[in-house]
């Protein structure tokens, strides 16, 4: 693995302050040490523009003169050295005391005054299954004596998702319909899903692509990842149970996927690296998925949370209740391994492709990244603080994913909310 995306430099200094006052607040997701990229516009008639989040503001990157275009794919596909140089230039311009303060002040917009969209147009979407605690818990619901299938610990499992239904935070979607087979029935029903669920995931966004037929080695894999967002892989569990054999998810997954709007770059995540640890009793990765650098720092320490806001909570002006916490460190495969495996057969990735991690649950029962786990398949309903009960999502429910990184000697950075709301079936 190349060390280039993981280099610590002045942009990570925890004491650096910005002339944008809101970026200095201790609870902001977007201090000057973060500088995530995204797209914004003032109204639906305007084209999308590239911005950088700083505190509660958006810096119009084109207006600063640092780029001469608003093509996010082009920006993401740049070599790592160029990406680092751009990050440094943005950081220098936003530092407290910068001579560019007066020049850039007019390029700052309030995030609440603009529409935030997808970080870029998504070309292809692959969803993996790296959460071993999720895979084990769900497997036990169906195969108590053999929860993990034989290939799970050998190969990063994934399926091709639907790019067209991916939306940015704030996405609203109608409850999906499909075929389901009720217990004891021999003929399926058709209608709205009664077991609608969320899945807590991270999305890795491809920057530099690779040529068709040219695998990306694990040593170079992370140079092909531009950054990360949160991802909610909404799932119709009853539809999924009936349709997933033999080819995997289809209508149960393709109706909606929600991502947070700000791409937290791999450069910003450098202080939050962690060793990739595989239990000695488990199969060790095959050579194409193995490297000393990946072992040393292939994992990422990202703290994750799921919140639920019901219609009753919204009517009472309540922000919601936290359902679970987990950490990306518990993923069974690293991002570098996902890229190396995805391309080992010659598959070509392109700028803007999205790789989902799969549900990132923790080892404890209360750390499930889905209602399927937290309610044991609906058998153990959750009672919320206001007395409401949930086994699966109801119409009007809003799910909010949150993520943040904290480490000694580093400034806390966050991902911003990933929010989605269930509407009634059409």
4-116 CATH, one of 3.40.50.150, 3.20.20.10, 2.30.30.230, 2.40.170.20: 2.30.30.230
b vs e for 199-218, b when ≥16 Cβ sit within 10 Å of the residue's Cβ? bbbbbbbbbbbbeeeebbeb
400: phi then psi, degrees, rounded to nearest 5: -120, 120
Query: How far is Cα 367 from Cα 136, in angstroms, rounded to an integer?
Result: 13
Query: How far is Cα 187 from Cα 189, in angstroms, rounded to an integer?
Result: 7
Residue in 391, 382, 372, 283 with CA at minimum distance from that of residue 333: 283
Query: How far is Cα 103 from Cα 1, in angstroms, rounded to an integer?
Result: 39
Q: Where are the domains of the chain?
A: 4-116, 125-423
335: phi then psi, degrees, rounded to nearest 5: -60, -40
The encoded tokens of residue 324 equal 């679970």
- Dmax (CA) of the chain: 73
Q: Are 234 and 196 in contact (CB under 8 A)?
A: yes
Query: How far is Cα 424 from Cα 354, in angstroms, rounded to an integer?
Result: 28
Residue in 255, 297, 252, 304 with CA at minimum distance from that of residue 277: 297
Q: Which pLDDT does position 145 carry in this prediction?
A: 87
* DSSP state at residue 131: B
Three-class HEC string of 310-362 = CHHHHHCCCCCEEEEEEEHHHECCCHHHHHHHHHCCCCCCCCCCEEECCCCCC
Specify burial of residue 304 (Cβ count, 10 A radius: 0-12, 13-18, 19+). Answer: buried
Q: Is 134 a catalytic residue?
A: yes
The count of other CB atoms within 10 Å of the CB of residue 84 is 19
Rounded alpha-carbon distances, angstroms, from residue 244 to 180, 235, 236, 238, 371: 11, 12, 11, 10, 19
Q: For the chain, which residues score pLDDT lower than 50?
A: 1-3
5: phi then psi, degrees, rounded to nearest 5: -65, -15
Q: Name the β-bridge partners of 405.
A: 413
For the chain, the straight-line distance linking the first and the last C-alpha, in angstroms and rounded, comes to: 48
Whether this prediction's pTM lies above 0.85 is answered by yes
Query: How far is Cα 225 from Cα 208, in angstroms, rounded to an integer?
Result: 7
- The architecture CATH gives domain 125-423: Alpha-Beta Complex (3.90)
pLDDT in tens, 169-225: 999 999 999 999 999 999 999 999 999 999 999 999 999 999 999 999 999 999 999
Query: How far is Cα 425 from Cα 40, in angstroms, rounded to an integer?
Result: 30
Q: Which pLDDT does position 4 carry in this prediction?
A: 60
Catalytic residue among 12, 42, 69, 134: 134
pLDDT in tens, 253-302: 999 999 999 999 999 999 999 999 999 999 999 999 999 999 999 999 99
CB within 8 A of 169, min separation 6: which ones? 116, 258, 259, 260, 261, 416, 417, 418, 419, 420
């Amino acid at each position: 693995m190349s060390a280039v995306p993981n280099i610590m430099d002045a942009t990570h200094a925890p004491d650096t302050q910005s002339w944008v006052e809101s970026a200095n607040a201790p609870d902001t997701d977007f201090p000057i040490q973060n500088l995530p990229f995204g797209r914004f516009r003032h109204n639906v008639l305007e084209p999308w523009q590239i911005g950088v989040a700083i505190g509660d503001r958006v810096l119009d990157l084109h207006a600063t003169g640092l780029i001469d275009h608003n093509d996010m794919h082009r920006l993401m596909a740049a070599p790592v050295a160029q990406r680092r140089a751009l990050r440094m230039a943005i950081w220098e311009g936003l530092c407290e005391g910068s001579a560019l303060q007066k020049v850039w002040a007019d390029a700052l917009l309030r995030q609440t005054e603009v529409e935030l969209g997808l970080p870029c147009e998504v070309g292809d979407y692959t969803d993996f299954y790296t959460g071993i605690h999720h895979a084990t818990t769900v497997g036990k619901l169906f195969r108590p004596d053999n929860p993990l299938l034989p290939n799970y610990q050998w190969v990063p499992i994934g399926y091709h998702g639907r790019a067209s239904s991916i939306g940015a935070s704030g996405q609203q979607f109608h409850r999906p319909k499909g075929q389901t087979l009720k217990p004891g029935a021999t003929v399926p029903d058709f209608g709205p899903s009664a077991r609608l669920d969320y899945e807590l995931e991270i999305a890795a966004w491809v920057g530099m692509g690779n040529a068709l037929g040219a695998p990306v080695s694990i040593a170079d894999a992370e140079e092909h990842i531009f950054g990360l967002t949160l991802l909610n892989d909404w799932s119709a569990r009853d539809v999924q149970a009936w349709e997933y054999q033999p080819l995997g998810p289809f209508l149960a997954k393709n109706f909606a996927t929600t991502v947070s709007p700000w791409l937290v770059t791999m450069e910003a995540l450098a202080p939050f690296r962690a060793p990739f640890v595989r239990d000695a009793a488990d199969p060790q990765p095959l050579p194409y998925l193995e490297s000393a650098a990946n072992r040393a720092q292939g994992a990422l320490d990202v703290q994750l949370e799921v919140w639920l806001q019901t219609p009753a909570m919204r009517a009472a002006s309540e922000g919601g209740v936290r359902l679970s916490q987990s950490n990306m460190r518990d993923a069974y495969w690293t991002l570098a391994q996902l890229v190396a495996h995805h391309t080992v057969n010659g598959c070509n990735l392109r700028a803007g492709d999205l790789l989902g991690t799969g549900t990132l649950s923790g080892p404890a029962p209360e750390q499930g990244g889905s209602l399927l786990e937290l309610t044991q398949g609906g058998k153990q309903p959750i009672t919320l603080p206001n007395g409401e009960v949930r086994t699966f999502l109801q119409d009007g429910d809003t799910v909010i994913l949150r993520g943040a990184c904290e480490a000694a000697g580093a400034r806390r950075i966050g991902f911003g909310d990933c929010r989605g709301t269930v509407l009634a079936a059409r």
